[in-house]
Structure 1
């Protein structure tokens, strides 16, 4: 699916976090390991909440930018993955 440029960068970062979490899940990881990934995710969350995903320079009349729904879904999936990983940590 095509996406606007500002979303492409966010998509790439989300995919990198997803790859890192997948790789990490096959090792003995700690809370700190997961927290590092969560911190990267928080940055994306803050951009999303501040509506920085939208291309404010274009006034194409669209409700959302191309790819915004996909990135939003990816964001939720990565959050869930990291949450599950946290619940599996031995205390």
Structure 2
């Protein structure tokens, strides 16, 4: 699915965080490992406002921007994954 440029960057960062969290799931990870991923996710969260990512070119997020719903869904999935990982730490 095509996306506007700023969402492509967010999508790529989310996919990188998802890959890293998936890799960590198969190792003995610590809360510090998860916290590093959460810090990266916080940077993405700072761009997210009321269900849309802000578009720096026009200074607001548009719900109709192509890829908006997909990236919002990816953000939620990564949040859930990191939450589950933290809950499994002894």
Q: TM-score range by the shorter chain?
A: 0.7 to 0.9
Alignment partner of 2:42: what SS? Answer: helix
Kindly indicate which of the two structures has a greater share of residues assigned to strand: 2
Count matched residues: 86
Moved beyond 2 Å, runs of 4+: 49-55
Partners of 1:18 and 1:53 lie apart in 2 by: 22
RMSD of aligned C-alpha atoms? 1.8
TM-score using structure 2 length: 0.87
TM-score using structure 1 length: 0.86
Structure having greater relative contact order (Cα 8 Å, sep ≥ 6): 1
Cα deviation, residue 52, structure 1: 5.1
